[in-house]
Amino acid sequence: MTNKVVVLGSLNVDTTLHIDQMPKPGETISARSKTNSAGGKGANQAVAAARSGAITSFIGQVGDDGNGQFMIDALKNDRINTDHVAVDQAHGTGSAVILLDSQGQNSIMVYGGANQAMETGMLAKSESLIESADILISEFETPQEVTYEAFKLAKKHGVTTILNPAPASKIIDGLLEVTDLIVPNETESATLTGIEVNDTASMDANADKFAQMGIAHLIITVGDRGAYYHTPSDSGFVPAFKVQAKDTTAAGDTFIGAFSSKVNQDLSNIEEALVYAQQASSITVQRLGALPSIPTAAEIENEYKS
């Protein structure tokens, strides 16, 4: 079965500065090189889903500028439906500056722009699109109020909702009640629950806390260690595939997008989908950039064929 995935999220043009090491406070350093590419958590997740075979559509907003058209074209290049990407006359297209050191670690500064100017009213035109989906994904680079309204529409029509609470911030009332699966990394999970993530027991404690908050299905990604999952009937840990990372940008987004292309609507094959998602993100971290680093299903299959 081919999943129909809708992503409600951010569209950013990424500027990456390649540096030897992160600057100290007050320090001026030189960048070895600079690259520009399409990105944003929403765009990355949508492209990852599309390249893994999902029929993918996007709900978002760009500015009336060259960067906005650049982002729309980038989505179309991966056969993503952009009919529900609005153009905002008052705000510029979102952008991000990424500092990438020689060890492959990054620091990211994001300008929300048109992403943060999204309003709930724009969803009126998107209900039929959401109704037709199997999976709806959103994150926190667009307003939570918009995600909440979209998730309510999804639940009205029996669509599975996946929330990536990144960057972590206080979750508005009601949103978790219409979320089927939450996928934070270890830092985001600790921020939301108040429980540090450092071993299996602490992951279980995070799962218990999320259950109290109304979320029965949880995945916590822990970088190059792997991913923990918890459902009402099972829990476990899927180790990451060991590779030499060049750039961790978009690794988490690749994970979520690839996962959404394989997981069943009832989340019954969560562990199987997790393994595939780990395979996809392991390839992403070996490449530079956001969208350019995301692998296709054929690349993943070739890399990990049994």
Does 40 appear as a known binding residue? yes
Q: Catalytic site residue 253?
A: yes
Give just the sign of the alpha carbon dihedral 183, 35, 247, 4.
positive
Does 234 appear as a known binding residue? no
Does 66 appear as a known binding residue? no
Does 226 appear as a known binding residue? yes
Pairing of strands 226-230, 160-164: unpaired
Does 231 appear as a known binding residue? no
Type and span of the H or E element at 95: strand 94-100
Does 104 appear as a known binding residue? no
Does 63 appear as a known binding residue? no
Does 174 appear as a known binding residue? no
Does 208 appear as a known binding residue? no
Question: Of the residues 199, 204, 253, 266, which is catalytic?
Answer: 253
Residue 283 pairs in a beta bridge with none
Does 42 appear as a known binding residue? yes
DSSP secondary structure letter of residue 125: G
Nearest residue to 136 (alpha-carbon basis) of 120, 147, 122: 147
**Distance (Å) of CA 45 to CA 188, 216, 244, 300:** 18, 22, 22, 16
- DSSP for 46-62? HHHHHHTT-EEEEEEEE
Known catalytic residues are 253
The binding site comprises 12-14, 40-44, 141, 185, 221-226, 247, 249, 252-253, 284, 287, 289, 293
The binding site for substrate comprises 12-14, 40-44, 141, 253
The binding site for ATP comprises 185, 221-226, 252-253
The binding site for K(+) comprises 247, 249, 284, 287, 289, 293
